[in-house]
Amino acid sequence: MDCVFGIDVGGTNIKLAVIDREGQILDHRKIATRANEGPDAVISRLANELTSFIQADQGWRIRAVGLAVAGAVDARAGVVMVSPNLTGWRNVPLAERLSEMTGYQVVVENDANMAAFGEGWLGVGRTFQSFLVMTLGTGIGGGLILDGWVWSGPFGCAGEIGHITVDPEGWLCNCGNTGCLETIASATGVVRMASELLAQGGSPVLENLINENGDRLTAEIIATAAFKGDALANQVFQRVGRVLGLTAVNLYNLLGLEMIAFSGGMAGAFDLFIGPMREEIKRRSHILPPENLKLLKGILGDDAGTLGAARIAWSHIELGERLGSRVN
């Protein structure tokens, strides 16, 4: 049977899956990235893993390999330019190296783009042509699909939605800018906001939850407190909703997107931020009807990246060229 490898390379784990043309996951494995060992060791280990996968032959005929990598990727050249989670990865010709070691055609793309591509193939984006998938976790990633195609831009790393400025006087971001969306609407931002508010005054529900959690404040606990009606925790998610709405409405006005979907750990707080987010969109959208922009939750979860990587491998096979990344 014709299959591809869909691979998601993260800072902690590498997820590998054998995926058929319809998107069925036939088998999957997870290995530790051990990013501290550097790119050569990681690529060798990955190549060995692919070989051993094939030795467990199930009648698969692997046609290509699609890789989703956290970081800035030059998809045309198959090069990982830089990755915040992979130590020492700078201008690594990943597609070429892995192809030499395994003999497969290899396609490399950014992981957030591939999560969006996966959702477009089999998930929440199936019925849409132009949409954004925002991954809300420790940071914020974004994958943009325009008119059915992944938009990576000429420099290979477009869709960095987390680093749109939403507060010019805001906190310093890891990227060097101040007031990025990520400084407020990520798990890190939520914890920081709640800590500042806690320093100003009490919040019994939240304080109890922190005690029960061994004195640790996490985004999950703040969400739990907000669901229980805690005022301080709700104030945090009001702000999150507001800046997400601000970002969304600017994108909507610029691109006329049909839909924005949310995935990642913080998507669990969807019901907490979606109200204020909708209000903000309504307040600022006067040319395009605000109700035309759908706000949804992603449905593929952790599989979005491997499925997207598989879909891009399939589309390269189908189009028989290096760049041809049609989603549906």
* Residues contributing to the site for Zn ion (CB under 5 A): 163, 173, 175, 177, 180
Phi, psi of 48 (to 5 degrees): -60, -40
Nearer to Zn ion, 119 or 182 (CB): 182
Nearer to Zn ion, 192 or 297 (CB): 192
Nearer to Zn ion, 170 or 268 (CB): 170
CA 319 to chain centre: 26
Nearer to Zn ion, 29 or 163 (CB): 163
CA 65 to chain centre: 20
- Structural tokens at position 143: 């994958």
CA 137 to chain centre: 9
Cα–Cα distance, 34 to 14 (Å, whole number): 9
Nearer to Zn ion, 119 or 160 (CB): 160
CB of 180 to Zn ion, least distance (A): 3
Cα–Cα distance, 19 to 16 (Å, whole number): 10
CA 278 to chain centre: 22
CB of 65 to Zn ion, least distance (A): 31
Taking a C-beta distance cutoff of 8 angstroms, is the pair 207, 225 a contact?
A: no
Cα–Cα distance, 217 to 220 (Å, whole number): 8
Nearer to Zn ion, 108 or 243 (CB): 243
Q: Where are the beta strands (DSSP E) in the chain?
A: 2-9, 13-20, 25-32, 61-69, 72-74, 79-82, 90-92, 106-110, 131-136, 140-146, 149-150, 259-263, 294-297
